[in-house]
Homo-oligomer: A and B are copies of this chain.
Amino acid sequence: MSRRISMAVIRRMPKYYRYLNDLKNEGVSKISSRKLAESMGLTASQVRQDFNCFGDFGQQGQGYDVAALHREISSILGLDEGYSVIFIGAGRLCCSLVENFGFARRGFKLLAAFDTDPAKVGREICSLPVYHVDDIGKICGRRKPDIGILAVPRAKALEGAEYLKKAKVKAVWNFTNAELGLPEDKIIVENVHLSDSLMTLCYKLNQLEDKLYG
């Protein structure tokens, strides 16, 4: 099976995953490509094409098995790998992610947070041990983290990225809204651009107001 899949398809997978997760929790066991497509705002043939990229998940006319499809997508996305995670920046963003995101439930192992603030170093925040960033090489030499979450202000982005290189993480989840310039063939970088989402909201709001008032 070829593993070269377009990013457009990959970007839809998490949405399938979320939707199948909800179905599973509601006790639904089978779903047709038509219903799945409707809920996702796609066409049934798009849904079938998407899944064909990865292999064969359904039987003609019987719909997809929700639990099996959920498991497969989980495996495709690498969610069953038990990836380990460190944070750079033990501030509010780190805490808010740890508290709200459900890393453990999603199969991630949170190892530690790193900061420079003497008030935080040597303590725990949200049950995570906080170490000084200068110790990152030593600490991460023992237990290698897969993913580094960069949760520092934009002005500290490049400095934080340097520490993540020292920690030898394989992937960076970047919340700084800054380009990190990491070697992309060696380190995966996924940027979170919250502003893109807010701008899209503003666009739609602007359109709505034009329609209603103008």
What string of 1s and 0s marks CB contacts (under 8 Å) between A72-109 and chain B? 00001111010100000001110111011100001000
**Contact B78–A206 (Cβ < 8 Å):** yes
Q: Contacting chain B: which of A13-21, A56-64, A115-123, A133-141?
A: A13-21
Q: Which chain B positions have C-beta within 8 A of A206?
A: 77-78, 81
Known: A18-B195, A18-B196. A203 touches B106 (CB 8 A): no
Nearest opposing residue in chain B for A203, CB measure: B77
**Contact B205–A147 (Cβ < 8 Å):** yes
Task: Verify if A24 is at the interface (C-beta below 8 Å from B).
Answer: no
**Contact A195–B106 (Cβ < 8 Å):** yes
**Contact A196–B15 (Cβ < 8 Å):** yes
Q: Which chain B positions have C-beta within 8 A of A146?
A: 205
Tell me which residues from 165 to 198 in chain A have a Cβ below 8 Å from any Cβ of chain B.
Answer: 170-171, 173, 175, 177, 188, 190, 192-198
**Contact B195–A78 (Cβ < 8 Å):** no
Nearest opposing residue in chain B for A100, CB measure: B153
Q: Which chain B positions have C-beta within 8 A of A26?
A: none
**Contact B93–A100 (Cβ < 8 Å):** yes
Q: Nearest Cβ in chain B — how far from A169, in angstroms? A: 10
**Contact B14–A195 (Cβ < 8 Å):** yes
**Contact B14–A196 (Cβ < 8 Å):** yes
Q: Which of B92, B170, B196, B205 contacts A188 (CB 8 A)?
A: B205
Q: Which of B17, B83, B202, B210 contacts A205 (CB 8 A)?
A: B83
What is the interface of chain A, defined by CB distance below 8 A to chain B?
3, 10-11, 13-15, 17-18, 76-79, 81, 83, 91-93, 95-97, 99-101, 106, 146-147, 153-154, 170-171, 173, 175, 177, 188, 190, 192-210
